[in-house]
Chains A and B, each alone.
Chain A
Amino acid sequence: MAKNASPDDKFYKSQTLMKAFGISSVIMLIFTLWMVLDDFGREWKKYQVNFFNYRKGKIEKQIEEAKQSLDENKIKELKDKLAQVDAANKEKAAEAKKLAKELVKLKTDRVNKVDKYQAAKGRYDVSKYEFENVYGHKVAHGEKIEEGTKLSDKERKAREALSKEWEKVQALSDAANNAQMAEDAKNAEMAKLDAEKSELEKELKKSQATVERLLAAKSNSEINLTKLLRSAPILDLANPVFKVQQVVIPTIRDDVYFAQVQKVDRCTTCHLAIDTPGFEDAPQPYRTHPNLELMLGATSPHPTEKVGCTVCHSGRGASVDFVRSAHTPRNEEQKKEWQKKYGWHEMHHVIEKMVPLQYTEGQCRVCHRETEYVPAAQKLNKAVQLVRGAGCYGCHRIQGWDHIRKPAPSLKRVKGKLKHDWIVRWVRNPKSFNDHARMPSQFHQGNTESPEYTAFQEAELFAIADYVLGLSEDYKVSYTAPAGGNVERGRNVFYSVGCLGCHGMEEFPEGRRRFGAAPDLSTVGSKLNREWLGQWLKNPRHYWKDTAMPSLRLTDAEIADVSAYLLSKKNPTFEQLEVGEADFDKQKEVLELYLMRDPKMAPATKAKVHQFVEGLSKKEVVDRLGKNAVTRYGCYGCHEISGMETMPGSGVELSEHGSKLVNKFDFGLLDMEKSVASWLHQKFKATRSFDKGVVKEYLDLLRMPNYHFDEEQRDSLVTFILGLTAQKIGAPSAKILNARESQIEEGSRVVHQYNCQGCHIVEGMYQSLPEGHPDFEKHEKEKWNLEGRILTYFSEDETKGPPPLVTEGSRVRSEWVYNFLNNPSWKLRRGIKVRMPSYNMPTDENNKITTHWARSGNLEFPNAELKAPEISGQRLEAAKALWNKLQCGNCHTVGQYALSADDLEGGSKGYAPDITRSYGRLNKEWIISLLKNPQKMVPGTRMPGFWPEGNSPAPEILGGDSQKQQDALADYVLLLGYQKGGGKPVTMPSDLNRLEPPVGQAPSAENTDTKDGENNDSKTDS
């Protein structure tokens, strides 16, 4: 048995245990405090504290400034007056005291009465409920209370009691209201007594308002003990000063897989002044959003509480930690800075990382899905134009781009246009023909460098040329231009009639762009033959019915001249390039590779396929190989090729590419940053580079061709693609087009298809920045990239170029637009050398454009009936007097067709429309607006404003009433046309079947191709 324990037998010494206990307790206390602090000391609190201090400093400065602008004298005067009034009031003290006493009495009375009324009303409501409970339900259920029964008696009594009670309640209510009126009357009496004083006080306050407000704001920004206590650990559960700020957007949902939750953005927890103007120069994260008018501002279309932050910027809105909210640096430099400053690292698990700042504009698409262009998103719009120009949508399906015509010329009749050798040289290396070629380089692009693969490439190249030519229909021209033709004259025609709106030409570099709307013609002489070119210039739809190329109504002689000019633009280096010959054995070899994978040959063996190929004729081999190659390289995506018109593009669909996870991208063996943006950059830079070092069979090699995009173009394409996200945002947050907007959009797509914006400034494509904006100049220079490209040739005087179509919707009548588009040959402004082309577009397209303008002008459509202008008598006389006084006739002709050479070459009459053509064309309201403010309606117009700020230039006419004058003059202008046309709009006189202006003069060769040419090259070419 064990012996009994005594205190001395303790296994451990008490002292030691106590010490251990003491030490470990202290350690635990320290760690517990550490835990509390660690939990409490959130990153964002630091930012909020700093923001309070920053704002305080800012307000202090503002107070200093406000104090300096205070009107000290006025304040002193007011204070003196106040003192006087106070003194005067002392005399009335007795009266005031009496009134105050009475007021207290009345107030007590009112309070009592209101209380009584409320109590009675409460009791009545209970009675009513009980009555309904007993009898009301019966009635409601169709039960009848038999008269004469006990129940009926009871019911009657109860009803009577109830109405009596109600009368009582009403009486009490009246009493309460009477008491209130008595009190109000007494109050008014009191106020009267003090009227002067309170008036003065109000004024004093007003003159010090700014300072007072700032002082209040300052005290809000001061961190004092109360505020600190309110935000202390544990106490902060009530109402802390420093707290998480959030925007909750119920209409936008975040997908958290199997569930959708309201979007919660807590970015404003640190970005505290993001929608407050005045913090533009503040250090981050306190800086104001750079474009409050467009974004986040209370009056902007995207106020903070409706869109939040992460809809556009992406990132984890719910997080309030710099790293965990998935900020993404803009570049390597910023990345390093962030790593140092915030310990930044990539959030691998987060899918919706922030979009690098330079690509944010693409995210407009998240909500603006239905329009091709997004207003004010210039970078995105440029990208859209590039996507159109480069024809990305030919191979890559993009939702919303499905019904756009293929971007490159049809090859269905190519035999009539091009020769075999040219095709081989061109397809082998389009850049060797023209460095502004839109066609991308498909062959010999880096991943086929081995001698074997190089030979395979050549074999396919020849097969494609033969195949395409073999498929081609025969094509015979039906028109031949007269022989001869003068290069110099042709050059003038080419320069002045408007070819440059769409086409580029090396010697006129100002408007030359890569990926413009139409091919660059700088070396076209090495491509085309004279017969085909003549026919094409005469009637482009003869060769290709879907072409966007219009007829410029060139005369036979002009066609001969332009042909001569264009054919003189040769590329001798290209012409001397060796064509080589197809290696038939290699072609067979490549065909065998294709056939090994052909489902029809399965199961395929080398011997079987070989035997099959040996049994084919030479033509069959070439055709089969050509077809396979065309299919694999996706030539049919851009070109119309017989039998392949409806095949889906050969590239991957891009509709939701921006949301594709980064681990779904093949980076090959390249050692590079693993992000979608950098993958795209690399892809555009060297499309085949992900094949580097990878072991692949020939047919598995990457095949996206090389477009030779420059840095800026790559950037804008990345912006575009990152904006194609899977985010589904519905109404009311997303932009959903209404019926009117849909019609505008539909028409605008036709407008873009025909490249109207090549010559005209079309409303809505870009938005000017306000003058003085830091990017103003850069922005202005960019605008001609988007719209009115041809205007670059008229930079000294834009009015000599095609007119801007700003306010066109409210300006012209729809039937005029329709007729004009059908037959634009009769010019309005005879001095303008650029011709409005004849598109001969299908009726439905014309309708769409017409509807587009009608709708964008908010006009009633179809147009109101064309009425005779109502003007006569005195009003007519007044209008005539105005016409003379304002010398309208100096610029506008009145039905005069033949103009002097001076007028045609820069004189005013050549640039102002013939006034008689206004009737049937212009809307009267628009004419009035134009008279009021010409620059607003037609920016850059030569027309002067005669009513500056609404002041009449002729006080003696119509009593000097500007409105009446404008109204009369507008009617008079319409009347002139009405009279001339004999009650109808003026039609083209039959003896004037041709009224093209004389051809202009192209700038001489010396001053164009040297300095501008170099500038241009460095600008547009990579």
Chain B
Amino acid sequence: MGFITDLINYLCRPAILFTLSCVAFYLGLFPYREKLAKKSSLYTILVSMAVFILISMLNPTFRDVVTKPDNVPIVLMLFLLTFFCWLPLNKAVKNDKLIEEGKDVENKQEAKELVFTWPDLIFSEFICAIVVWSVLLIWAITIRAPLEEPANPVETPNPSKAPWYFLGLQEMLVYYDPWLAGVVFPTLIIVGLIVLPYIDVNPKGNGYYCFKDRKFAITTYLFGFLILWVVLIVLGTFLRGPNWNFYGPYEVWDLHKLEVLRNVNLSEYIFRFGGLNGGKLPDFWLFRELVGIILVIGYMFAGPVILGKTVMKSFLEKMGKPRFYIMVVILLLMASLPIKMILRWTINLKYIVAIPEYFFNI
């Protein structure tokens, strides 16, 4: 037993969990997509999730964390999410086949027949409303609202956690400064979602699910949503404990647990460890951070151009310049999060550009 729990604790470490999620994401979306789209796969996943949680409930720490009134919705979300990710995938695989065979997609076949608003739509919506209302009632009665004392500035909760839907943002704070993780990125997420319909003008998939015709769009979107948002929420909810330290799912939340946080700036790598300038950091910040600044500027400005000329040449041709560059800039910004995460895990990189003189760090 001890071996298994230790193993799971180990696998849940942020870096490993993130990597495993990425691998699973790739496997599920590409090589094993058709298998995953089967009903039996859905059942297998849902049942194994339930079994995993139920068995893990034997562990007191796990039980406490999972059954906290704040966390119950997240557990439910995991099941719902699984189902609602699987459903389009299932349809997309079916439709892909139909398209290959040159037939109409499912929706088109259905869409030929009209049904009544009343009772087919309104009535069933009404019943749904009643059921949802009942569920909310029973939830409110059985799981009391986790209200606490008036906020006390000298006795803040540890860990202080954002509402569950913001925990992904809070997790980003581990890797980026607040002005980026708390202001720029959230804004860009919203802006990105708004411009999506103007960038993605691919008419395929309108009104029906498909995968093969929209590989890039679906993969990018799902990576952002599932990996960079949901996985980070799960991490923040279940695996971050006191002092925002990592705790395995079966690890006791000990207030006194310590972790080494020895993070190094890029400039320190270059000058101190690289021995440039005799091991001394230049006094003037511009010289000191020059490499980082060049890297960032290069990433943001040269990156799109290079991509447009190489890997994404076909995109540029298809989309036209304005659309393409807007899309690539947003894509690069999105990619900056996992890049920074990987740099942190591998070389303890703190900041690429660190100008504390002006409270500017990237």
Asked whether A and B interact, the reply is yes
* Interface, chain A (partner B; CB < 8 A): 2-5, 7, 9-12, 14, 17, 20-21, 24-25, 27-28, 31-32, 34-35, 38, 256-258, 349-351, 661, 663
Is there an interface contact between B124 and A12, defined as CB atoms closer than 8 Å? yes
Given the interface contacts A17-B119, A28-B133, A257-B152, does A663 sit within 8 Å of B127 by beta carbon? Answer: no
Task: Return 11 A-B CB contacts under 8 Å, by A number.
Answer: A9-B113, A10-B115, A10-B116, A11-B120, A12-B119, A14-B119, A17-B119, A17-B124, A24-B127, A31-B138, A31-B141
Q: Which of these, B127, B133, B138, B255, contacts A20 with CB under 8 Å?
A: B127
Any chain A CB within 8 A of the CB of B1?
A: no
Does B322 sit within 8 A of A, measured CB to CB? no
6 smallest A-B Cβ distances: which pairs?
A: A11-B115, A11-B120, A31-B137, A24-B130, A256-B150, A2-B114
The CA-CA distance from A350 to B113 in the complex, in Å, is 62
Q: Is the CB of B149 within 8 A of A351?
A: yes
Q: A31-B137, A257-B152 are in contact. Are A17 and B123 (CB under 8 A)?
A: yes
- B2 CB contacts on chain A under 8 angstroms: none
Q: How far is the CA of A661 from the CA of B149 in the complex (A)?
A: 14
Are the CB atoms of A349 and B120 closer together than 8 Å? no
User: Is B145 engaged at the interface, CB distance under 8 Å to the other chain?
Assistant: no
Bound-complex Cα distance A351 to B148 (A): 11
Beyond A350-B149, A661-B155, whether A24 also contacts B116 by CB under 8 A is no
Q: Which residues of the other chain, A, contact B131 by a CB distance below 8 angstroms?
A: 24, 27
A1011 to B115, CA, bound (A): 104
Chain A residue nearest in CB terms to B126: A21
Q: Are B134 and A31 touching (Cβ within 8 A)? A: yes
Residues in B with CB closer than 8 Å to A351 are: 149, 152, 155
CA of A256 to CA of B255 in the docked complex: distance in angstroms? 26
Does B112 make an interface contact (CB < 8 A)?
Answer: yes
State A24–B137 Cα separation when bound (angstroms).
13
In the complex, A11 Cα to B151 Cα: how many Å?
Answer: 54
Let me know if B120 and A12 touch, CB within 8 A.
Answer: yes
Residues of B participating in the A interface, judged by any CB pair closer than 8 Å: 112-116, 119-120, 123-124, 126-127, 130-131, 133-134, 137-138, 140-141, 148-153, 155, 255
Tell me the smallest distance from the CB of A37 to a CB of chain B, in Å: 9
When the two chains form their complex, are residues A5 and B119 in contact, meaning their CB atoms are under 8 A apart? no
Chain A residues lying within 8 Å of B119, measured Cβ to Cβ, are 10, 12, 14, 17
Do the beta carbons of A2 and B112 come within 8 Å of each other? yes
Residues of A within 8 Å of B116, CB to CB, are: 5, 7, 9-11
Q: Using Cβ atoms and an 8 Å threshold, which residues of chain B touch A38?
A: 141
Residues of the B chain whose Cβ atoms lie less than 8 Å from the Cβ of A31:
134, 137-138, 141
Complex alpha-carbon distance, A1016 and B119, angstroms: 92
> Do B114 and A5 touch across chains, with their CB atoms under 8 A apart?
yes
* Cβ–Cβ < 8 Å partners of A257 in chain B: 150-153
Residues of B within 8 A of A256 (CB): 150
Complexed CA–CA distance, A28 and B127 (Å): 11
The CA-CA distance from A661 to B155 in the complex, in Å, is 8
Which of chain A's residues have a CB closer than 8 A to the CB of B126?
21
Query: How far in angstroms is the closest Cβ of chain B from A263?
Result: 14
Q: Considering the chains assembled together, what is the distance between the CA atoms of A20 and B150 in angstroms?
A: 44
Instruction: For the complex formed, measure the closest distance between the CB of B163 and the CB atoms of chain A, giving whole angstroms.
Output: 17
Q: How far is the CA of A28 from the CA of B232 in the complex (A)?
A: 36
Count chain B CB atoms within 10 A of each CB in A27, A256, A350, A351 and give the residue with the most.
A27
Could you say which residues of chain A place their CB within 8 Å of the CB of B124?
12, 17
Q: Are A17 and B114 in contact (CB under 8 A)?
A: no
Q: A10-B119, A11-B115, A17-B123 are in contact. Are A28 and B153 (CB under 8 A)?
A: no
Known: A9-B115, A10-B120. A24 touches B152 (CB 8 A): no
A2 contacts which chain B residues (CB < 8 A)? Answer: 112-114
Chain B residues in 8 Å Cβ range of A349: 148-149
Q: Is the CB of A35 within 8 A of B141?
A: yes
Which among A4, A12, A25, A35 is the interface contact of B130 at CB below 8 angstroms? A25
A350 to B112, CA, bound (A): 63
Chain B residue nearest to A350 (CB atoms) is B149
CA distance A28 to B131 in the complex (A): 7
Contacts of B153 in A (CB 8 A): 257-258
- B134: which of A3, A7, A24, A661 is its contact (CB, 8 Å)? A24
Q: Collect the chain A residues with CB atoms within 8 Å of residue B148's CB.
A: 349
**Cα A350 to Cα B255 with chains together (Å):** 19
With A10-B119, A663-B255 as known contacts, state yes or no: A17 contacts B133, CB within 8 Å: no
Are A34 and B115 in contact (CB-based, < 8 A)? no
Decide if B149 touches A28 in the complex (CB within 8 Å). Answer: no
Contact B120 A27, beta carbon cutoff 8 Å: no
Q: Do residues A21 and B123 form an inter-chain contact, with CB atoms below 8 A?
A: yes
Contact A21 to B127, CB < 8 A, known contacts A11-B120, A31-B134, A31-B137: yes
**Known A24-B134, A256-B150; further 17 A-B contacts with Cβ < 8 A:** A3-B114, A9-B114, A11-B120, A12-B119, A12-B123, A12-B124, A17-B119, A17-B123, A24-B131, A28-B137, A32-B137, A34-B137, A35-B140, A257-B151, A349-B148, A351-B152, A661-B155
Other-chain residue from B134, B140, B150 in contact with A28 (beta carbon distance below 8 A): B134
Contacts of A32 on B, CB cut-off 8 Å? 137
Closest chain B CB from A242 CB (angstroms)? 21
Chain A residues with CB under 8 A of B140: 35
- For the complex, give the distance between the alpha carbons of A38 and B144 in Å: 11
| Minimum distance in angstroms from B252 CB to a CB of chain A | 12
Q: Which residues of B contact A25 (CB under 8 A)?
A: 130
In whole angstroms, what is the CA distance A12 to B150 when docked?
A: 51
B116 to chain A: closest CB distance in Å?
6
Alpha-carbon separation in the docked complex, A258 to B130 (Å): 43
**Interchain CA distance A396-B357 in the complex, whole Å:** 44
Inside 8 A of A28's CB, which chain B residues have their CB?
130, 133-134, 137
* Nearest B-chain residue to A259, judged by Cβ: B150
How distant is B117 from chain A, measured CB to nearest CB, in Å? Answer: 10
CB distance from A346 to the nearest CB of B (A): 14
Measured CB to CB, the closest approach of chain A to B128, in angstroms, equals 9
Measured in the bound complex, the distance between the Cα atoms of B133 and A243 in whole Å is 30
Q: Smallest CB-CB separation from A34: which chain B residue? A: B141
A579 CB to nearest B CB, Å: 42
Report the minimum CB–CB distance from A676 to chain B (whole Å): 14
**A976, B149: Cα distance in complex, Å:** 74
Contact A35 B150 (CB under 8 A): no
Cβ of B137: which chain A residues have Cβ within 8 Å of it? 28, 31-32, 34-35
The minimal Cβ–Cβ distance linking B148 to chain A, given in whole angstroms, is 5
Q: Which residues of A contact B152 (CB under 8 A)?
A: 257, 351
Q: Tell me how far the C-beta of B121 lies from the nearest C-beta in chain A, rounded to whole angstroms.
A: 9
**How far apart sit A9 and B133, CA to CA, in the bound complex (Å)?**
30
**Chain A contacts of B138 at CB under 8 A?**
31, 34
Chain B contacts for A661, CB-based, 8 A: 155
Nearest residue in A to B112 (C-beta to C-beta)? A2
Known contacts: A14-B119, A17-B119, A256-B150. The answer to whether A27 contacts B134 by CB under 8 A is yes
Please give, as numbers and ranges, the residues of chain B lying within 8 Å of A7 by CB-CB distance: 116
B127 surroundings in chain A (CB, below 8 A): 17, 20-21, 24
Report the bound CA distance from A240 to B205 in whole Å: 63
Residue of A nearest to B149 (CB): A349
CA distance A25 to B133 in the complex (A): 10
Cα A602 to Cα B172 in complex, Å, equals: 40
Residues in A neighbouring B255, C-beta threshold 8 A:
663
Distance in Å from the Cβ of B359 to the closest Cβ of chain A? 27
The answer for the CA separation of A256 and B148 in the assembled complex, in Å, is 13
Partner of B115, one of A5, A27, A350, A663: A5
List residues of chain A with CB within 8 A of the CB of B155. Answer: 351, 661
Q: Within the assembled complex, what's the spacing in Å between the Cα atoms of A14 and B115? A: 13
User: Smallest CB–CB gap between B120 and chain A, Å?
Assistant: 4
Query: In the complex, what distance in Å separates the CA atom of A27 from the CA atom of B112?
Result: 37
CB contacts (< 8 Å) of A14 on chain B: these are 119
A572–B173 CA distance with the chains assembled, in angstroms: 71
A residues less than 8 Å from B134 (CB atoms): 24, 27-28, 31
Question: A434 vs B357: C-alpha distance in the bound complex, in angstroms?
Answer: 65
A14 to B116, CA, bound (A): 12
Distance between Cα atoms of A920 and B250 in the complex (Å): 84
**B242–chain A nearest beta-carbon distance, Å:** 10
B113 neighbours in A (Cβ, 8 Å): 2, 9
